[in-house]
Chain A
Amino acid sequence: KAGVTQTPRYLIKTRGQQVTLSCSPISGHRSVSWYQQTPGQGLQFLFEYFSETQRNKGNFPGRFSGRQFSNSRSEMNVSTLELGDSALYLCASSVARAGANVLTFGAGSRLTVL
């Protein structure tokens, strides 16, 4: 079965612009989580969506937002980009089984902000 698909894989933006990243989860997975990975901060949790509702949120400013659609596909948006937003953005899906929430990750979207 198809894995988690993230698009685009690479993108370059300039400061002040906004960006939208997309994630298609594995069929049947209703939970989608987003992470930001940078060399300095490691893997930081952004948010988690389940059945179109944001169920968990990390400690990121309001410029970072997301949503989930009825088919479980998810998007995240970063507005007013800053240089520090350059990172690998990883999406992961799961069946959200209580007590055993195992994530399947996509290959990531690498964002460079100039």
Chain B
Amino acid sequence: SQQGEEDPQALSIQEGENATMNCSYKTSINNLQWYRQNSGRGLVHLILIRSNEREKHSGRLRVTLDTSKKSSSLLITASRAADTASYFCATDDSSYKLIFGSGTRLLVRP
């Protein structure tokens, strides 16, 4: 079963623009993670935010977490064509079972 629902399902932007994708989840979590997947390959971990954190930065990535609304957002600034991929949020309730959302397909046009 999927814990998270992501919004939008697909996003198309111009290179240089910012991309924002959102994730909502249903149950209590210990942390929330974002992963990236390039065309049917394995997923790559991007960033982890703990339940007691509200915002975290890593390079061009900014993640926010609102546990009261059970939602998170991933912002990619100054996007590049190489950022074209699918992005997934994953929730960790400390059971060592990560549950992934449905994903957002991002297309960055050169």
Q: Which residues of A contact B (CB under 8 A)?
A: 4, 31, 33, 35, 42-45, 48, 50, 55-56, 58-59, 88, 90, 92, 94, 96, 98-108, 110
Interface of A is mostly: strand
Q: A residues within 8 A CB of B98?
A: 33, 45, 101, 103
B88 contacts A43, C-beta separation under 8 Å: yes
* A48 and B42 contact, Cβ closer than 8 Å, known pairs A43-B88, A59-B1: no
Q: Which residues of B contact A (CB under 8 A)?
A: 1-2, 30-31, 33, 35, 40-45, 48, 50, 88, 90, 92, 94-103
* A48 and B97 contact, Cβ closer than 8 Å, known pairs A42-B103, A43-B88, A104-B45: yes
Q: B residues within 8 A CB of A58?
A: 1, 97
Q: How far is the CB of B54 from chain A (nearest CB, A)?
A: 17
* Distance in angstroms between the alpha carbons of A99 and B48 in the assembled complex: 10
* A4 and B42 contact, Cβ closer than 8 Å, known pairs A55-B96, A56-B97, A101-B98: yes
Q: How far is the CB of A72 from chain B (nearest CB, A)?
A: 14
B95 contacts A105, C-beta separation under 8 Å: no
A102 contacts B45, C-beta separation under 8 Å: yes
